[in-house]
Amino acid sequence: MERTGTERTDGSPAAPVAPAAPAAFADCVHCGEPTEYPAERPGVTLCPVCEWQEAQRTACSG
Ligand SMILES: [Zn+2]
């Protein structure tokens, strides 16, 4: 019993969905660490650390 199967369900299982292509993250303008913000984000991008430091500075200004 031979299957004349030219139509083979090419077993390529639904192409594995690439885990969200590494989006281009903007680098922290202070230390150059990658931030969690997209590169398209307008304005200054800071990493969580610098962001925190910046918050401390501005909080103390005055
Ligand atoms: Zn930084």
- Cα(31) to ligand 1 centroid in Å equals 4
- Cα(23) to ligand 1 centroid in Å equals 18
Average pLDDT over residues 21-25: 72
pTM of the model: 0.53
- Cα(24) to ligand 1 centroid in Å equals 16
- Cα(28) to ligand 1 centroid in Å equals 5
Pick the closest to residue 25 from 49, 53, 47, 56 (CA basis).
47
Query: Can you tell me whether residue 58 is helix, strand or coil?
Result: helix
| Max intra-chain CA distance, the chain | 88
Judge whether residue 5 has pLDDT over 70.
Answer: no
Task: Give the confidence band of 28 by pLDDT, cuts at 50, 70, 90.
Answer: very high
Judge whether residue 21 has pLDDT over 80.
Answer: no
Task: Give the confidence band of 22 by pLDDT, cuts at 50, 70, 90.
Answer: low
